[in-house]
Amino acid sequence: MRARLLRPTTLLSLAIVALAAVMALAPQLLAPGDPLAGDPSVRLLAPGGGHLFGTDALGRDVYTRVVHGAFLSLAAATAAVLVGGLVGGAVGLVCGALRGRVGRVVDFIVMRFVDVLIAVPGILLALIVVATLGFGAWSIALGVGLGAAGSFARVMRAQVLRVRGEEYVEAASTLGVSPLAVLGRHILPNAMRPVLAMAALELGTAILSVSTISFLGFGAQPPAPEWGALVSDGRDYIATAWWLTVLPGAVIVCVVLAVTRIARVIGVER
């Protein structure tokens, strides 16, 4: 594990994730300006010393907006993973722990429903939730999380079934330990590591999904800075002001790749 963490690509990924965390939690440290304040006299300036990422059509500093927009994007993505992990993990845990004829029937019915959920594209499900609950980053987070819940349920169920067949679990049951105690003390802790690795991997996917839906106009509404919305705002100026879409898009790509790289290291070493 240590050797993999010390690889240059992994160290760079850790640095990018740490920088993204600072952007989300303490944006004033990196960009003390107001992300909503504009100056028409400096509109559509190219990236330079005074404006690292240039300015937009209203004279707002794009770098400041990207930094302050990190909270909405990353918080929504993290919330989506939490929703997917908690809902899907609970379903998978219960289905994997059920025994007997009734338990097998319940497991079969629930997992067929999970199969249908997995078959529905996550973006489509998220759009349905947003259309039902209204626009906003948290509606997107709920929709993306529910879309990921099926995969979490599958992984958790598979791990519970694997651990349930281990000798120490069977020995605990034979000694008279209650089923709930066996589930909480022996099965759940040993089934969690692959699920946590999957959660780290799903975070990158969630960032992309949240940004994509915000790009379509269903996320945080203007003038709130959000990564997907920032990319969308620059579409009309792509020929004359490329930095409005390219630079926020590059930040999204870098963060997603960094999170995915770290998740793969965790997954390999689990």
Is residue 176 predicted with pLDDT exceeding 60?
A: yes
The Cα–Cα gap between 83 and 80 comes to: 5
Which tens digit of pLDDT belongs to each residue from 61-71? 999 999 999 99
> Is 60 exceeded by the pLDDT of residue 1?
no
Average pLDDT value for residue range 111-121:
89
pLDDT score for 267: 64
Q: In whole angstroms, what is the distance from residue 84 CA to residue 94 CA? A: 15
Mind listing the pLDDT tens digit for each residue in 4-50? 667 788 899 999 999 999 999 999 999 998 999 888 888 899 998 78
**Res 269 pLDDT > 60:** no
* Per-residue confidence (pLDDT) for residue 91, from 0 to 100: 93
Residue-level pLDDT at 25: 94
Of 135, 156, 250, the closest CA to residue 199 belongs to 156
Amino acid 177: pLDDT: 73
Supply the pLDDT for residue 87.
94
- At 50 the pLDDT is 82
In this predicted model, which residue has the larger pLDDT, 78 or 102?
78
Element (H, E) at 227: helix 227-233
DSSP 49-79: SS-TT-B-TTS-BHHHHHHHHHHHHHHHHHH
Mean pLDDT of the chain: 87
Handedness of CA 46, 49, 50, 53 (dihedral sign): positive
pLDDT of residue 270: 45
Q: What is the pLDDT of residue 26?
A: 94
Q: Please give the single-letter amino acid code of residue 164.
A: R
Using alpha carbons, select from 269, 202, 253 the residue that is nearest to residue 20. 253
Percent of the chain with pLDDT over 70: 96
Q: What are the structural domains of the chain?
A: 2-27+52-242+249-269 (1.10.3720.10)
Q: Which residue has the higher pLDDT, 180 or 89?
A: 89
pLDDT of residue 27: 93
- Residue pair 72/226 in contact by the 8 Å Cβ criterion: yes
Average pLDDT over residues 149-167: 88
What was the pLDDT predicted at 2? 59
Instruction: Judge whether 163 and 249 are in contact, CB under 8 Å.
Output: no
Tens of pLDDT, residue by residue over 183-230, are 777 788 888 888 888 888 899 999 999 999 999 888 878 788 899 999
The answer to whether the Cα torsion of 39, 45, 47, 49 is positive or negative is: negative
- pLDDT at res. 49: 77
Do 155 and 172 contact (CB within 8 A), yes or no?
no
Mean pLDDT, residues 112-120:
89
